[in-house]
A and B are shown apart, each in its own frame.
Chain A
Amino acid sequence: MKDTYDKSLPFAASIRWIKKETRDTLSFALRIEDEHIRKAYAFAPGQFNMLSVPGVGEAPISISSGPSDDILLHTIRVAGDVTTALSRFEAGNVLGVRGPFGNGWPMERAEMKRLLIIAGGLGIAPLRPVLRYMLKNEKPNASPAEIPPLIYGARSPRNILFRDEFRSYAAVFDVHITVDKADPQEHWSGNIGLMPPLLDKISLSSKAPDTTAFICGPEVMMRCLIEELLARGLRGENIFLSMERNMNCGMGTCGHCMFAQKFVCKDGPVFRYQDIAALLAVKEL
């Protein structure tokens, strides 16, 4: 699709509302101010925007809303300059947006293949559009074998993002959540511990070679889970992961996000595991 606006310049977006998700993470619902851009703006699940606080800088942030939602949602963890500045914004304030950038998840597979979705921590942000999409396009009378598993891991119960939404996801997904640890006063009765053991709770075996996995989370978590998935019979060509690197321009001209010959901003952030497995094996590329 050809963009009819200039992606090298930020456009104004006003904040409709802000929701505090966890202690350090906020969701921002945005509305694109310019009518022409609002109409032309279209994204695919897994793409990201460069959010600009002019005077402070820019940061790449995944789009967390569903493709047909009427607001543009970003869920942001306060990390440094730009994200801190954003955390001080209020509803009604205006920020700059460039995008969407990146390739996104291979959504045709969400229709065709059995899907397995795995998110760790903030890694749920670029996967939420997939969840929203599938919720909207729910397959009626899906047989239990077709129900896609959704595995989510968070540091603690109070760090679970979009916590109130998981109940609705359970209508379409076989949901499994785990936390690293839980304080007694959090009244957590769910799983505690790392994510790999959850893979034993979903039945993969015979379907494994045909299962497509979408994974996003800290790189160490993804590496470890991918190993587990391969051991359980998933194929490298069916595993997709979303990578994070330093990004400055979002358009492949600044060089910051290079992961060997890949520009994470335009060749990714979603990569087929098989295509980058050899590169992931080398340290510090």
Chain B
Amino acid sequence: MKSRLKDFFEVLGPSYRIIGPKIENGVVILAEIKYGDIPAGYRDSQKPGRYRLSPEKDSQVFSFSSGPDSFKRFLNPPLAELFHFHRFETGLGITSPPFSEKGGISETGLPICFMGIRACDLWALKLYDRIFPGGRVRDRTYESLRRNSLIIAFNCLYPSGNCFCLSTGTGPEVKDTFDVAVTELKDSFLLEEGSARGKEILGLLPLGHAGERQSLEKRERIETCKALFRKSIAADELPEIIFRNLDHPHWEDIARRDLECGNCTQVCPTCFCNTSYDFVYPGGISGEDKCNLELSGRRLRKWDSCFSRDFAQVHGGNFRLSRKARYRHWMAHKLAYMQDQFGLPGCVGCGRCITWCPAGIDITRELEALRPHS
């Protein structure tokens, strides 16, 4: 019964670039996948600064949890072209990349289907839909990659050792923002529609009927999952714990352990900071070394991190000169500022920053240390 998941791939394959989980270098990453790529039956063990993947000999398909990747690498690519420029003494030509009206990346012209996105990441996606607005100031890259993207969400049944979405209220169950929600049951998958498009797609699949029994099993499985969580944060005390403790001595303590590698910002599904810069085509320069020379190139945007030393640098100085200030900015952005900026939680409890921190810095414990009486 469970191999019927393959039907999804057959139905969606021609019209979507299916992005889903796959093993690479011993890690579950996201990539353009085929049905056979799904790491069925693998289980991960995640601890602060540690990730191990091993085959589990049960009949579950989705027993693994999130790896370092998230949708963000696909909707907000680590390196994106903003426009092409051609500049000459008395003129300037700007051409934007050929965004596809259908959505998705221009080369294939296909919109993206996210297969197996989890509840925490759906909250992050919702946040991204506010960060990169389609309104007054458009972000054309995000807008076109997001356009017509299809969301096949999965309810988590096994939290990793670092997951704490239960306490942030962002998981483990998917509630909205999806087209189809999938719950893995003992012998089958329960599919639920979340949009008109989802309904249409379910109509194309040879499905059996689901009834009371399946709904009950889904509930039981989600409740079992909830009992497995080992980490939590005091989300109901946010953002006050942060705002009241901006001068807490504990920031100094974290700064002594922090390596400033920026891993946490790269893996966090809600981190979005970036820097754009101009890339001039080699040979694109003619004339003397004066500024009215003719040249062409591209403006590129790359992921950046508030841990970069010059991130808040200006001509006269650096607004976050100390490591303590940079770590505080990151954690405060996640746990306090984002809620204020976008009306949604900035930390969705995915635990990625904990797993992928080489120093094993754990945001849940650092927050705990800031709390009074802890």
Contact = CB atoms under 8 A, between A and B. Distances in A.
A56 interface: yes
Contact of A256 (B140, B246, B275, B315): B275
B96 A9 contact: yes
Top 4 A-B pairs ranked by shortest CB distance?
A: A255-B273, A284-B325, A261-B337, A88-B291
Interface of B: 82-83, 85, 87-92, 94, 96, 131-132, 136-140, 246-247, 272-278, 280, 290-292, 295, 297, 299, 304, 306, 311-316, 319-322, 324-325, 328-329, 332-333, 336-338, 340-341
A254 interface: yes
A283 B325 contact: yes
B312 A8 contact: no
Nearest to B83: A9
Contacts of A95: 92
Nearest to B93: A12
Nearest to B320: A284
B341 A253 contact: no
Interface stretch (A133-141, A152-160, A172-180, A243-251): A243-251
B293 to A, nearest CB: 9
A114 interface: no
A86 to B, nearest CB: 8
Interface majority SS (helix, strand, loop, mixed), chain A: loop
A11 interface: yes
B139 A253 contact: yes
Interface string A212-239: 0000001000000000000000000000
B312 A94 contact: no
A171 interface: no
B129 to A, nearest CB: 12
A7 interface: yes
Query: How big is the A interface, by class?
Result: 35 or more
A17 B138 CA distance: 32
B272 A8 contact: no
A54 B278 contact: yes
Interface majority SS (helix, strand, loop, mixed), chain B: mixed
A53 interface: yes
Contacts of A8: 82, 137-140
Contact of A261 (B85, B311, B336): B336
B295 to A, nearest CB: 5
B138 A248 contact: no
Contacts of A79: 315
B56 to A, nearest CB: 39
A241 to B, nearest CB: 16
Contacts of B295: 54-55
A93 B89 contact: yes
A245 B319 contact: yes
A238 B105 CA distance: 49
Given A85-B291, A88-B290, A88-B291, A10 B94 contact: yes
A2 interface: yes
30 contacts: A2-B136, A8-B82, A8-B138, A8-B140, A10-B83, A10-B94, A12-B91, A54-B295, A54-B297, A55-B280, A55-B297, A56-B278, A88-B292, A93-B90, A93-B291, A94-B88, A245-B312, A246-B311, A246-B312, A246-B313, A246-B314, A246-B319, A253-B132, A253-B272, A254-B274, A256-B273, A261-B340, A261-B341, A285-B319, A285-B329
Contacts of B280: 55
B85 A96 contact: yes
B106 to A, nearest CB: 16
Given A218-B316, A282-B247, A12 B278 contact: no
Contact of B136 (A3, A80, A256): A3
Given A55-B280, A248-B276, 5 more contacts: A6-B96, A12-B94, A88-B292, A93-B292, A94-B91
Nearest to B297: A55
Contact of A53 (B291, B304, B328): B291
A251 B142 CA distance: 14
A144 to B, nearest CB: 38
